[in-house]
Structure 1
Amino acid sequence: MKIPNFKTNESGLNRFFGPLESKIMNILWEGDEMPIRDVQHRLEREKAMSFNTVMTVMNRLVDKGVLQKRVEGRTSYFRPVQSKDRFLETQSKELTNELMEEFGPLVVSHMLDAIDEADEDLIAKLEQKIKAWKKER
């Protein structure tokens, strides 16, 4: 699943989702499968939110492929397709692949420049990854 509109001028989940979508995803990632009403109540702690608005946004998230919907009687239950960690891993991989396809060596160069600001653990992981990659070739 690829989120098509990555927003560079945002931060966190808002890079992939709208503000309300991000809040809904965080609520669902924190808990188990939930009906719309439960999500609405959690959102209302911050601001009054209509049931129909929450339902519309949650159904759009189903259409985007990030939520699954299960209907039991008259109640729809929703849960994320992936864990938050897996979602972020998938999206960052997609973004990296797109950058590599479009900009190639420039991306690698900029990533290496950014490593100057990284901690030693990240640099060690990168070295291990490069060694493993070389062995596979």
Structure 2
Amino acid sequence: MPLNMRFRFSPTKDGLVKVLGPLETDIMQIIWQDERSTVKKVHRKLSQQREIAYTTVMTTMSRLAEKGVLRRHREGLAYVYTPAITESDFVTMVVQQVLDGLLDDYSTTAIDYMIDYLARRNPKELRRIQQTIQARIAA
């Protein structure tokens, strides 16, 4: 599922804001929840939380469509937007791209850090990975 998506990774941000901007994340959350929407409907929902221009929402949704995260088609006078990728598949794609980049350039450092991190924060997951590695070696 290749997307035309280029993003900046901001590790200090929370959730999807790490890779999408705050407005893009809010829009995608609405679209993933509703499964199809118009700029007008998304703008109405966002306006309940903050003051935002209709044209800002329209431009952001158009850019998300250009990036391949949203699909759009015309129905009458309005565009209807649907997700081009599920939230779960999007998260998987982002994680794979980030890890591919780290492992391509800094394999030893990245792996050592992941092991140390899991030993400190999630020993159960570290044991699961150990079992998976042992099973792959045995196969």
Q: TM-score scaled to structure 2, two decimals? A: 0.88
In structure 1, how many angstroms separate the alpha carbons of the residues matched to 2:135 and 2:90?
Answer: 24
Given the superposition, is the C-alpha separation of residues 41 and 118 from structure 1 closer, same or farther in structure 2, using an over 3 Å criterion? same
1:68 is aligned to: 71
In structure 2, how many angstroms separate the alpha carbons of the residues matched to 1:129 and 1:9?
Answer: 30
1:126 paired with 2:129, answer: yes
After TM superposition, give the deviation of residue 124 of structure 1 in Å. Answer: 4.3
Post-superposition CA distance 1:62-101 (Å, at most 9, x none)? 1111111111121101122111111111100110010001
Given the superposition, is the C-alpha separation of residues 81 and 135 from structure 1 closer, same or farther in structure 2, using an over 3 Å criterion? farther
2:98 is aligned to: 95
**Residue in structure 1 matching 2:81, options 63, 78, 83:** 78
After TM superposition, give the deviation of residue 128 of structure 1 in Å. Answer: 4.1
C-alpha contact 1:35 1:76 (8 A) present in aligned 2 = yes
SS at match of 1:126: helix
- Structure 1's consecutive aligned runs of 4 or more residues displaced over 3 angstroms after TM superposition are none
1:10 paired with 2:44, answer: no
Aligned length: 135
Which consecutive residues of structure 2, in runs of 5 or more, have no partner in the other structure?
none
After TM superposition, give the deviation of residue 9 of structure 1 in Å. Answer: 2.6
After TM superposition, give the deviation of residue 119 of structure 1 in Å. Answer: 5.0
C-alpha contact 2:115 2:126 (8 A) present in aligned 1 = no
SS at match of 1:28: helix
Given the superposition, is the C-alpha separation of residues 81 and 128 from structure 1 closer, same or farther in structure 2, using an over 3 Å criterion? farther
In structure 2, how many angstroms separate the alpha carbons of the residues matched to 1:69 and 1:119?
Answer: 44
2:28 is aligned to: 25
Q: TM-score scaled to structure 1, two decimals? A: 0.89
C-alpha contact 1:3 1:91 (8 A) present in aligned 2 = no
C-alpha contact 2:35 2:82 (8 A) present in aligned 1 = yes
Aligned-pair Cα RMSD in Å: 1.7
Which consecutive residues of structure 1, in runs of 5 or more, have no partner in the other structure?
none
Identity %: 25
